[in-house]
Structure 1
């Protein structure tokens, strides 16, 4: 294992490394203390354009709109893109806040192995996903807010003589459905039927976390749910099964789960906030699971391999009965070229829903 260029870990840290430690940061080039970049509204700024072989193994960000006033929801109003080896289409496309592990245009202290939001109030963003490249790594941020964006950053990487041919490229993609296409509660005789009745034997209407073509492995996601229902009955939004379809297989896929909280390795409709290396509940929602919820599940020790294609899905409520606000960022590695992403939603369709602005009418008996 001498002279390895695989990403370092505690178990391999004593092994000799044939590489150079490098960094790109926002330090003040004049020698002053304005150690940040100023991105004007509508501007795209290139954070790094590295021409070498190497691997990014740590990114740190903190950002704000200006020194006095922060624009509401600004974490959804800037877009992060990453390009490897001269590609024209990005391999990473997500709002900045969502990429670093939490949606709803919010930040909150949490700890996982690949992603962390650190004090103060979760505004120190960290990513430790390794990002290899053979000839080039380019990262940009676009400011789609109405104010100047102030961004402090480090991009730490190793430079190699050459990259091994079997190294896959890192990908991340944000997705949102507002609302998910569920069923009206009034279609069912009772609230219990709406929560637990019916069957899903195709997975065709599931919420899609990610789709890819090529060879690679899926390594996890964060999932953000805003419960849009206003009734006082049992209102748990996470009764949906995860279904991962590999290489075009039919339903039922060989990776078929038993419920949203089960996929994120928790139990019994959790509300207690919790952070672990590979799974967590960053935001637990309000009483009766109202309001906003954020989970994460990272497949670091159990990646999901695919040879030709993958489609990672989850039901939005049992049998896709619920209509809520779902968003997610999925992370994976694969061969290039990858299937081109559709462009990210315009900024007005990325913004969080205000509390109480959606309401589903009608009531059912709780039988």
Structure 2
């Protein structure tokens, strides 16, 4: 059976599709045909004997999948605890990495929570097309992730205590070949704990090759008072230098909102979070009420998490790409330059090889305020 493995949608469901479906989890860690659910439990043979990886030690790296291609990863599901007795930032302490073909440096590198639009080490519900997070911390990705010869997915535990249980499933399809124009999935996390006044925060840089930019996750902690969301996002495409080809009109505009996301209810200003297929504001917290520790002050600066998927409108590039966003606010006297704490994940597809990412900050440098 021949055809394009990327064709999808409800209208294609009656069509017989190419490929061979497989899944990797702790019940079938190699994904081999006819080898699922072989582990035994006290219930007997093949009765939920290996539902997860247990006790991932501090400093250890768990390999979730190592797959020979060609193929396409179609769905990833992961869930873990978000805290241990040692600390509360498991979702920032676990590092997700993905490698395609014979890469020695990752094409995906991000704290686990942030990759799934759950920044700040805190879980929240996300209901979008490529990323879905269901109660409680059911992390799902539907980004297609093609590979020609090999795919490898790992999670490194940089937390100071063991992770008692790591649950996961990776659903993929093996193919005889992939279309010549197939590009590879990439995602990179960055953070600037205090942005530089008057300088744009860099979401993505040093991309060389052809591809398309498909999404942004932004985790913003406001460090100054007044409205923070006037910064414009910029896309520098194929040789742009001083000025970009695409420049937006404001932060809330880029994420599909308007007028500061706020409404008046019973004389009070209410912050409206939302989830839609391509744009969302799933997380808002003006204080961290989930931390109750005598050595912590529960009051934290306001934290907001946003996503924007360029799925119907990918940003296409042929040579290079850079993505930035300004830190600009407004108050009664007008616009002003701000300094805030900004973290982000950029999602894109490109031809390989890619430029190696800069060093991932250490776990303490990744912790939220």
Q: Kindly tell me: are residues 143 and 290 of structure 1, through their superposed partners in 2, closer, same or farther at Cα, counting changes over 3 Å? A: closer
Question: 1:7, CA displacement in angstroms?
Answer: 5.0
User: What does residue 82 of structure 1 align with?
Assistant: 98
When structure 1 is superposed on structure 2, of 289-298 and 131-140 the one drifting more is: 289-298
What does residue range 254-269 of structure 1 map to in structure 2 within 5 Å? 254-269=245-260
Query: Does the aligned pair in 2 maintain the 1:65–1:71 contact within 8 Å?
Result: no
2:211 is aligned, of 201, 211, 216, to 216
Distance 2:3 2:246 in 1: 37
**Counterpart secondary structure, 2:185:** strand
Question: Secondary structure of the residue that 1:4 maps to in structure 2?
Answer: coil
Match of 2:40 in 1: 31
TM-score (norm 2): 0.83
Partner of 1:340 in structure 2?
356
Runs of 4 or more, structure 1, over 3 Å off, are: 1-4, 68-71, 284-287
Give the superposed CA RMSD: 2.1
CA distance in 1, matches of 2:210, 2:306: 27
Cα distance in 2 for partners of 1:18, 1:172 equals 27
1:48 to 49, 65, 89: 65
Which residue, out of 312, 322, 327, partners 2:323? 312
Q: Does 1:141 align with 2:155?
A: yes
Partner-residue secondary structure (3-state), 1:345 = coil
Would the aligned equivalents of 1:7 and 1:130 in 2 still touch at CA under 8 Å?
no
Q: TM-score, normalised by structure 1?
A: 0.84
User: Structure 2 vs 1, CA of residues 285 and 64 (structure 1 numbering), >3 Å: closer, same or farther?
Assistant: closer
Task: Please report how far the alpha carbon of residue 13 of structure 1 lies from its aligned counterpart in structure 2 after TM superposition.
Answer: 2.0
**1:102 CA drift (Å):** 2.2
Aligned ranges 1:167-182 → 2 under 5 Å: 167-182=182-197
Distance 1:293 1:139 in 2: 29
Give ranges in structure 1 of 5+ residues lacking alignment. 184-204, 354-367
* Whole-angstrom distance in 2 between the partners of 1:54 and 1:83: 13
What is the alpha-carbon distance in structure 2 between the residues aligned to residue 320 and residue 338 of structure 1? 37
1:154-208 CA-to-partner distances (Å, cap 9, x unmatched) read 000000011222110000000000011127xxxxxxxxxxxxxxxxxxxxx2111
Q: Is the 8 A contact 2:4 2:179 kept in 1?
A: no
